[in-house]
């Protein structure tokens, strides 16, 4: 006899009737195939049950012990950004027909999700300037890894050249992937905040499968994609670009600059920061690479009455069909967050995306000017940037993490400590400024940082 639970409809009467139908004496009888030696007989020492009211209280208490951007002013970016989320998004992605559905295996009753993904693919192609996009990846970082894997397969080469200006966690993830597939990683350094083109030229050979570049890069700086493209295409390797989708409101589409694969993270497009996940990776390729793409892809077709409809397609690439010969092991994707990104782009529209990108550009440049006016703070890089930039703090004086702890007391989430991932950039802070930051926020941050510096 167990206590009733609000998610379980089984009554004692149900149980008795069902057991009678089965011809079993007890529920326990249904587990007779499990050897006694491996039966768990105790009560598992895990967190105990709470009633709904108490559980809400407990969760609110846990949440309350985190400094959230509802209460703090954030200048943190480094891959996760504090953008405004139009209110319509949560209303729409909270419709349970979307969020309680599985992958759309039955197209006749999944046209909503399938069309939403088709529109997402269309949005990604439009932003990136690429021919084909998939239904999404786990995040931007795993999308970059898969791009490297695709390039190695397509070129039958096993060396990937990765710029050190690519997100450090992306490079770590690419390295893990490379170890699995037996690929070699060559890292190329930077100069003035962007990839060192001479070093890149020297690193790229006839054995290079691809060059992996991020722009805006981890330092916020814009890479000269037009200058990198001939270096890798000169050896018939692939040009892989990781892009920030909001920046593409102002920046040229990487596809127009010769990229073969464009990936990125859609988090800036209305997705909550949520401690860095879940977000949504996007993945787009030039047409010749279409059948090598990982993940789900939705295509348009017609039903037997000639009516337009959508289906999962090109499934001959995928693990459930090809098993060990699949182009990737990916199964689930981030459909709900792809929907989120689509709703964001529908809401912002043609002019809104330009406007939000421009607000980021203007406010970040105002912030860099204000910060560099503070005594002891300098700007180490002069390369053009979008909404993030690096400052250098005085060598003597508190460390970046000490400063950030101080800023926290003033209600500010300070920038990312670059010394963590780049030993040579100890004392440097990466600062993100989105459209949410007001002139007052920025002035306050500058003066606080000036005090500490």
Partner 1 sequence: MNTGEKALIFELSKPGRIAYSLPACDVPESAPAAYIPASLLRQTPAQLPEVYEVDVIRHYTELSRRNFGIDNGFYPLGSCTMKYNPKINEDTARLSGFANIHPYQPEESLQGALELLYTLQNDLAVLTGMDQVSLQPAAGAHGEWTGLMMIRAYHESRGEKRTKVIVPDSSHGTNPASATTAGFDTITIKSDERGMVDLDALRTAVSSDTAALMLTNPSTLGLFEEQIMEIAHIVHEAGGLLYYDGANSNAIMGITRPGDMGFDVVHLNLHKTMSTPHGGGGPGAGPVGVKSKLIPFLPKPIVGLRSDGAYYFDYDRPESIGRVKAFYGNFGILVRAYTYIRTYGPEGLRQVSECAVLNANYMMHRLASHYELPYPGVCKHEFVMSGRGLKDYGVRTLDVAKRLLDFGYHPPTIYFPLNVEECIMIEPTETESKETLDRFIDTMIQIAEEARTTPELVIGAPHGTVVRRLDETTAARKPILNCSCG
Using rule CB under 8 A, residue 337 touches partner 1: yes
Footprint on residues 347-386 left by partner 1 (CB under 8 A):
347-356, 358-359, 361-363, 365-366, 384-386
Q: Figure out which of the listed residues 173, 208, 214, 374 binds partner 1, where binding follows CB under 8 A.
A: 173
CB atoms within 10 A of CB 350: 10
Residues 233-252 that bind partner 1 (CB under 8 A): 248-252
Residue with tokens 């002891």: 376
Of residues 416, 422, 445, 452, which one binds partner 1 by CB under 8 A?
416
Which of 199, 222, 235, 379 forms a contact with partner 1 (CB under 8 A)? 222
- Provide φ and ψ at 245, rounded to 5°: -65, -30
> Should residue 56 be labelled a site residue for partner 1 when binding is judged by CB under 8 A?
yes
> Rounded to a whole number, what is the largest CA-CA distance in the chain?
83
- Least gap, CB of 424 to partner 1 (angstroms): 19
Q: Which two tokens stand for residue 33?
A: 């195939």
Q: Which position among 133, 209, 286, 429 is part of the footprint of partner 1 (CB under 8 A)?
A: 133
Rounded to a whole number of angstroms, the minimum distance from the CB of residue 390 to partner 1 is 15
How far from each other are the two terminal CA atoms of the chain, in whole angstroms?
66
Q: Tell me the C-alpha distance between 94 and 336, whole Å.
A: 10
Contact region with partner 1 (CB under 8 A), list: 157-165, 232-240, 336-344, 444-452: 336-344
Q: Which stretch binds partner 1 (CB under 8 A): 179-187, 199-207, 230-238, 444-452?
A: 179-187
Query: According to CB under 8 A, which residues from 62 to 91 bind partner 1?
Result: 62-72, 74, 76, 78-80, 82, 84, 86, 88, 90-91
Contact string 151-170 vs partner 1 (x = CB under 8 A) = ----------------x-xx
Specify the DSSP element, H or E, that contains 169. helix 168-181
Torsion of CA 43, 44, 47, 49, to 10 degrees: -40
CA gap 299, 95 in Å, rounded: 24
Residue 14 near partner 1 by CB under 8 A: yes
Please, which of residues 92-131 interact with partner 1 by CB under 8 A? 92, 94-113, 115-119, 121-123, 125-127
Give the three-state DSSP class for 8.
Answer: strand
Of 113 and 237, the one with the shorter C-beta distance to partner 1 is: 113
Spatial contact of 162 and 217, defined as CB atoms under 8 Å apart: no
Q: DSSP letter string over 230-244?
A: HHHHTTT-EEEEE--
Instruction: Please report how many Cα atoms fall inside a 13 Å half-sphere around the Cα of residue 422, on the Cβ side.
Output: 22
> Would you state the structure tokens that stand for residue 229, as one six-digit string?
């493209």
- Nearer to partner 1 by Cβ, of 155 and 347: the residue is 347
């Amino acid at each position: 006899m167990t206590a009733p639970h609000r998610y379980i409809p089984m009554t004692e009467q149900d149980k008795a009737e069902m057991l009678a139908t089965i011809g079993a004496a007890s529920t326990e009888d249904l587990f007779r195939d499990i050897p006694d030696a491996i039966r768990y007989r105790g009560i598992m020492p895990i967190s105990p049950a709470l009633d709904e009211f108490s559980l809400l209280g407990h969760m609110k208490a846990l949440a309350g012990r985190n400094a959230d951007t509802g209460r703090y002013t954030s200048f943190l970016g480094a891959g996760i950004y504090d953008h405004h989320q139009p209110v319509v998004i949560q209303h729409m992605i909270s419709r349970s027909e979307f969020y309680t559905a599985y992958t759309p295996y039955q197209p006749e009753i999944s046209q909503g999700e399938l069309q939403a993904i088709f529109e997402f693919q269309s949005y990604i192609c439009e932003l990136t300037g690429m021919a084909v996009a998939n239904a999404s990846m786990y995040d931007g970082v795993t999308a970059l890894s898969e791009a490297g894997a695709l390039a190695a397969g397509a070129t039958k080469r096993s060396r990937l050249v990765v710029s050190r200006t690519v997100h450090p966690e992306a490079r770590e993830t690419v390295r893990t992937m490379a170890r699995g597939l037996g690929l070699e990683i060559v890292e190329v350094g930077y100069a003035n905040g962007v990839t060192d083109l001479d070093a890149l030229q020297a690193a790229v050979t006839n054995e290079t499968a691809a060059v992996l570049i991020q722009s805006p890069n981890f330092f916020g700086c814009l890479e000269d994609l037009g200058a990198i493209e001939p270096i890798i295409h000169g050896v018939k390797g692939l040009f892989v670009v990781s892009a920030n989708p909001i920046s593409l409101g102002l920046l040229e589409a990487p596809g127009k600059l010769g990229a073969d694969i464009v990936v990125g993270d859609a988090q800036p497009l209305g997705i909550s920061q949520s401690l860095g996940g879940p977000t949504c990776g996007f993945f787009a390729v030039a047409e010749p690479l279409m059948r090598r793409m990982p993940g789900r892809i939705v295509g348009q077709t017609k039903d037997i009455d000639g009516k337009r409809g959508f289906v999962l397609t090109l499934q001959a690439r995928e693990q459930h069909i090809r098993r060990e010969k699949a182009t990737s092991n990916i199964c689930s994707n981030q459909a709900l967050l792809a929907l989120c990104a689509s709703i964001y782009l529908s809401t912002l529209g043609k002019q809104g995306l330009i406007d939000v990108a421009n607000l980021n550009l203007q406010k970040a440049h105002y912030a860099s000017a204000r910060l560099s006016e503070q005594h002891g703070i300098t700007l180490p890089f002069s390369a053009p940037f979008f909404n993030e930039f690096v400052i250098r703090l005085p060598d003597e004086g508190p460390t970046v993490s000490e400063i950030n702890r101080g800023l926290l007391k003033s209600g500010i989430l300070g920038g990312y400590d670059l010394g963590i991932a780049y030993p040579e950039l100890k004392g440097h802070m990466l600062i993100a400024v989105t459209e949410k930051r007001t002139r007052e926020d920025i002035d306050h941050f500058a003066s606080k940082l000036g005090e500490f510096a």
